[in-house]
Amino acid sequence: MIQEQEVHAAEMERTFIAIKPDGVQRGLIAEIISRFERKGFKLVAVKLVVPSKEFAQKHYHDLKERPFFNGLCDFLSSGPVLAMVWEGEGVIKYGRKLIGATDPQKSEPGTIRGDLAVVVGRNIIHGSDGLETAKDEINLWFKPEELVSYTSNAQKWVYGVN
Ligand code: UDP
Ligand code: MG
């Protein structure tokens, strides 16, 4: 008797992930991409950009009342940022888990910030914190045509869908 394989209906979502200038300068691009890739998430857009200070202010607009806002925007615009969009089931929430707590002193070992960063002002990576912010951030950083549509050969093995 042929047993039917369980078909998993994957609910895909997308998140915006950026390696900040400290992560780029420290040579951590491959290490960070590798963690998302090995997990089974799919890269749908990537580019290296130096954002203007105005652009950084737009990206962090939610934090404009915070005392660190100006320094944060100066820092984000101080050098190349690797901007990415990753896709997968639960990628927004799980992406944040891979990244770890905002303050690397509180990030668990095994997370990106826990393993690779020490202070909150140089925590090497950004990840969207919810569905709406993910949409807004993807729209801010990427034009629709920069999001690449393709079938990843790994997906059927990651999700068990034929
Ligand atoms: N940040 C900082 N000092 C703080 C809190 C935050 O410099 O006390 C910086 C830090 O780089 C952080 C960014 O501001 O990643 C955005 O803050 P948020 O609370 O959104 O943290 P995240 O979502 O990046 O974990
Ligand atoms: Mg945030």
Q: Spell out which residues have Cβ within 5 A of ligand 2, the ion.
A: 129
Over residues 5-29, the pLDDT tens digits come to 554 556 899 999 999 999 999 999 9
Span from the CA of 96 to the centroid of ligand 2 (angstroms): 10
**16: three-class secondary structure by DSSP:** strand
Strands (E), 20-159: 42-49, 81-89, 125-127
Closest residue CA from atom 2 of ligand 1 = 121
Nearest to 43 by CA among 155, 136, 137, 162: 155
Closest ligand 1 atom number to CA of residue 122: 11
The predicted model scores a pTM of 0.95
* Contact between residue 126 and residue 98 where contact means Cβ atoms under 8 Å apart: no
Span from the CA of 49 to the centroid of ligand 1 (angstroms): 20
**Which residues have a Cβ under 8 Å from the Cβ of 19 and sit 6 or more positions away?**
28, 29, 32, 81, 82, 84, 124, 125
Confidence (pLDDT) at 1? 46
Ligand nearest to the CA of 121: 1
* Contact between residue 22 and residue 122 where contact means Cβ atoms under 8 Å apart: yes
Q: Is 126 a catalytic residue?
A: yes
Nearest to 98 by CA among 81, 121, 116: 116
H-only helix segments in 47-130: 53-59, 69-76, 91-99, 112-116
Q: Residue 161 pLDDT > 90, yes or no?
A: no
**Which residues have a Cβ under 8 Å from the Cβ of 39 and sit 6 or more positions away?**
88, 94, 98
Span from the CA of 94 to the centroid of ligand 2 (angstroms): 14
Q: Is the ipTM of this complex over 0.90?
A: yes
Over residues 23-55, the pLDDT tens digits come to 999 999 999 999 999 999 999 999 999 999 999
CA gap 142, 59 in Å, rounded = 12
